[in-house]
Amino acid sequence: MDHNSYSDSYIRGILNTVKTIAMVGASEKENRPSYFAFKYLLERGYKMIPVNPGQAGHTMLGQRIYARLADIAEPVDMVDIFRASKYALPIVQEALTLKPRPQVIWMQLGVRSNEAAALAEANGLKVVMNRCPKIEYGRLSSEIAWLGVNTRTLSSKRAPIGGVQRMSLNRTSAPGGVTAAADRVQREERDR
């Protein structure tokens, strides 16, 4: 599989089918990107399980933090790797020991390991690298536009989202507005 680009249907299929996500490298520190992504996915109805050996035994947004994947007693559909690329292979190796195995290995933005991806795919798992499920969910559900991003409307008012809210991922994403920068990037991509 080409891990430089993924079709919307591939990403949408994953986000529509997984229900339980173990986030390896989740941090209970509110200023960390893993915290934002964890909270966002939890609010969208996914069962989120934080994994971080340094914070094991604590709770994060009401969810018990585990030291490692093997400590989780319930089945996990997706392992979201929020660690440096050099840790991806050992995490995939541990994920493959789970019974049942997860369906998906997802490596966050900046995380790429061709070796880990090859091992996961050789064992029948789907793989996504260098992407964020929070961003992909927002993009595919058009929620990003609903919240004021890419609408050319800025507001200091908090968006009216409360409780668990799961948006439909089964619609086509609308392209953003036309700008000189967007036109230039499209021309450069066509000319490659």
Distance (Å, whole) CA 41 – CA 165: 10
> Are 105 and 95 a contacting pair, CB within 8 Å?
yes
Exposure of 192 by Cβ count < 10 A (0-12 exposed, 13-18 middle, 19+ buried)? Answer: exposed
> Whose CA is closest to 144, among 184, 174, 111, 99?
174
Query: In the structure, what pLDDT confidence band is assigned to residue 38 with cuts at 50, 70 and 90?
Result: very high
What pLDDT does residue 156 have?
A: 53
pLDDT exceeds cutoff 70 at 125:
yes
What pLDDT does residue 186 have?
A: 63
What is the identity of the amino acid at 163? Answer: G
Query: What mean pLDDT, rounded, does the chain reach?
Result: 85
Q: How many CA atoms lie within 13 A of 74 on its CB side?
A: 11
pLDDT per residue as tens digits for the range 142-188: 776 544 444 444 455 555 555 555 556 655 444 444 455 555 656 67
What number is the average pLDDT over the span 6-24?
Answer: 96
Distance (Å, whole) CA 186 – CA 169: 25
Which of the following CATH numbers is that of domain 1-192: 3.40.50.720, 2.40.50.140, 3.40.50.1400, 2.60.40.10? 3.40.50.720
Higher-pLDDT residue of 106 and 163 is 106
Task: Tell me the whole-structure pTM to 2 decimals.
Answer: 0.77
